[in-house]
Each structure stands twice: as C-alpha cells, then as structure tokens.
Homo-oligomer: A and B are copies of this chain.
C-alpha cells in the first residue's frame, strides 16, 4: 500500500479516521485474522501463464485483505511433486493446490469433467457449465470424497494438437504412431491404433530428436515455443481436440476451506474466478505472438485429417460409454454433462461460430 496516497485519500474521504476509532474495527479484525497458506502448483515456473496464475491470485488475496491473508506459492517439485497436488491437498500437507484435474484420471476418470477430455467443452462453455449449468454442484460433491473443495481457477483455451516428425495425412498414419499423450486422450489414441507414450516434460525433446517417439503434445504456441520442438518435429497439428478448453482448478482442503472466515471465502472465490479471466486473456494475448514466431521458425501448421477427427469422435464416446458402464460416479455426471455440451455446441454454431467463420477469414477473402 502506498501510505502517502492513502493518507491523502483518508483526508479526502473524511471517514477513514473516524472508522478507526469506533466500534466496527474489532469486528473487521475478527473476520480478517492473520493467516498464512501454502499453495502448491502442478506446474513449473517456466509455464508462466499457469504458474503466473497463482502469483496473480496470491497478490489479489493479499491486496484485498491488507496483507493479512498471505498465500505462499510453490512450483511443482519445490515442496510437492507436480502430479501429487491432489494428494497433498487431501492430506492437508498444504492448504491448497493449483492443478489440472485430469492428472488424476488414474484414481477416477470422473476428474476429467473438471478439466478437459476429448471433445469436451470450450473455455466459455466449460465456465458456463461450472458456474451456471450445475457443474460446480456435481464436481464439489464428487471431490468431497477426496476432502477437496474445488474452485475454477483458469483455462488455456483450445490447445494445439502437438508436434509431429512426419505429416499425418490420414487415419492410417496414426496407426503405430508413438505419441506422447496421456490420460483419456491417450486411451482414445490407443483405440485409433497409436501407441501412447508417457514421458516427463524434460525428456520429450531428445526422444523426438532421436525418433524414439514420433510425436508429442504439450499446450499451445506460447508454452510450446519454449521447448523448441519445432526444430525436431515441425508438423504442428491442430486442434488439440482432447483439450478444447482445458480448465485449471484451485483445490482447497475441505477442513481449511470450512475454517476460513466468510470474508476470506468470498475473497478466495472472487480472486480465483478473476484469475480465470486474466489467465485466458493472457494466453490469448501471448499465443498470437508465439504462433508467428513458430511459423517463422519453420512450424508447418497442419489440420488433423477429417477421418482422424471422425474416428476420434466415435472412439471418445465409445470410451465414455465403457467407463460409464462400470463407474457410477462417472455415469452420474456424464449424462447431464453430455446433454449440456450438446446444447452448447448447437447454440454456439449460430451467433458465435458464424461471426468467427466470416470475420476471421474476411481479411483474406473479401477484396
């Protein structure tokens, strides 16, 4: 806080000094205790749109509470390994974590609804579902079993489909493809005949260079640019149809959430939601700069062939039906989720998509 400025205002507003000496002061202090939280991320600091989200959030919380509610941020591996954020929050090792819920589909594929899955919703559709379409109620009930209170915490927008050493010209080229891709998307690619690979981030480049793997997916232009894949696997496929609008989640340990004074609960929820707006805006801003640089560096933008998309669409829904048949929790959410998605898809074709289809190409097509 700029003290000089504050004194200036207090004089102008005229009420600050009075308030300090009257009854409300202890009431506010009581509802705003000094508090220190630790917030651990699934992401390294180098992914600065994602990790930057928790820095932005922690600053907002500190700023809105006069620095009384302090949140220390930790990158993946500093105190908790990146893929164990859920576990650390569940155990209460940390009060909160920033993660992508689909990292936990091994525990239960139901986590994917809180993040992204093949042909799930776009960023806006996912936000509509979570905030107004019943998503919050469903996901919060599901995560109660993990002692987690989830809050929507960001979105990457539609991601790219990865880097390929050779162009994919038809579904036949997917067969036996050694593709670094995980989770439900990996299972869909397995159904298409590919061989999904699980490789840590740092090992992808040498594996692509040597040809140990044929392709790898990561995020989108801004994050991908840093890893330099363009030099060893220049075919840059799109879209990442398994990440049409990948949600980032703030997982809070339920006991710590419930122990928060109401004022802090409002601050946390508001700041987390605001972080969504900021993160998506930042991605949309930065991706534009990076896609130009990548193309200049030799990236060959390659759309998925239609037969791959169609086969993936069928394989995805087949997979969801298989999971729903044996997993009650998944089934309970899949029904309303799919109905919601289908309706959203239909409506977005009207105003939003027709605007985009004409306007985004008019520079080239209207003479």
Q: Which A residues are within 8 Å of any B CB, using their own CB?
A: 1-2, 5-6, 9-10, 12-13, 15-21, 24-35, 60, 63-66, 68, 119, 122-125, 127-133, 157-161, 220-221, 238-241, 244, 255, 258-263, 266-267, 270-271, 273-274, 276-278, 280-282, 284-288, 291-292, 301, 303-304, 309-310, 313-314, 342-363, 366
| Of the residues B33, B124, B343, B350, contact of A19 by C-beta under 8 Å | B33
- Complexed CA–CA distance, A291 and B314 (Å): 28
Inter-chain contact A123/B122, CB cutoff 8 Å: no
Given contacts A66-B27, A66-B31, A122-B355, A284 and B128 within 8 Å (CB-CB): yes
Question: What are 14 A-B contacts with C-beta separation under 8 Å?
Answer: A9-B258, A24-B66, A64-B270, A119-B359, A119-B362, A125-B284, A159-B351, A239-B358, A270-B270, A284-B347, A287-B347, A309-B362, A346-B360, A353-B360
User: What B residues does A271 contact at CB under 8 A?
Assistant: 270, 274
Given contacts A64-B263, A127-B284, A157-B352, A13 and B35 within 8 Å (CB-CB): yes
Residue of B nearest to A255 (CB): B12
Given contacts A132-B285, A263-B66, A355-B241, A25 and B29 within 8 Å (CB-CB): yes
User: What B residues does A24 contact at CB under 8 A?
Assistant: 29, 34, 66, 68
How many copies make up the complex?
2
User: What B residues does A282 contact at CB under 8 A?
Assistant: 128, 131-132
- Complexed CA–CA distance, A262 and B63 (Å): 8
Residue of B nearest to A244 (CB): B355
User: What B residues does A362 contact at CB under 8 A?
Assistant: 119, 309-310, 313
User: What B residues does A9 contact at CB under 8 A?
Assistant: 258-261
Inter-chain contact B19/A29, CB cutoff 8 Å: yes
Inter-chain contact B19/A366, CB cutoff 8 Å: no
| Of the residues B157, B309, B363, contact of A345 by C-beta under 8 Å | B363
User: What B residues does A351 contact at CB under 8 A?
Assistant: 157-161, 220, 238-240
User: What B residues does A355 contact at CB under 8 A?
Assistant: 122, 158, 239-241, 244
- Complexed CA–CA distance, A285 and B10 (Å): 42
User: What B residues does A241 contact at CB under 8 A?
Assistant: 355, 358-359
Beyond A287-B347, A348-B356, A349-B360, 10 extra complex contacts between A and B, CB < 8 Å:
A6-B31, A28-B28, A28-B32, A64-B267, A124-B157, A124-B284, A158-B356, A239-B351, A241-B358, A345-B360
Residue of B nearest to A349 (CB): B360
- Complexed CA–CA distance, A149 and B130 (Å): 31
User: Distance in Å from the Cβ of A137 to the closest Cβ of chain B?
Assistant: 14
Inter-chain contact B60/A33, CB cutoff 8 Å: no
Given contacts A33-B15, A281-B128, A342 and B361 within 8 Å (CB-CB): no
User: What B residues does A21 contact at CB under 8 A?
Assistant: 26
- Complexed CA–CA distance, A299 and B125 (Å): 24
Residue of B nearest to A15 (CB): B33
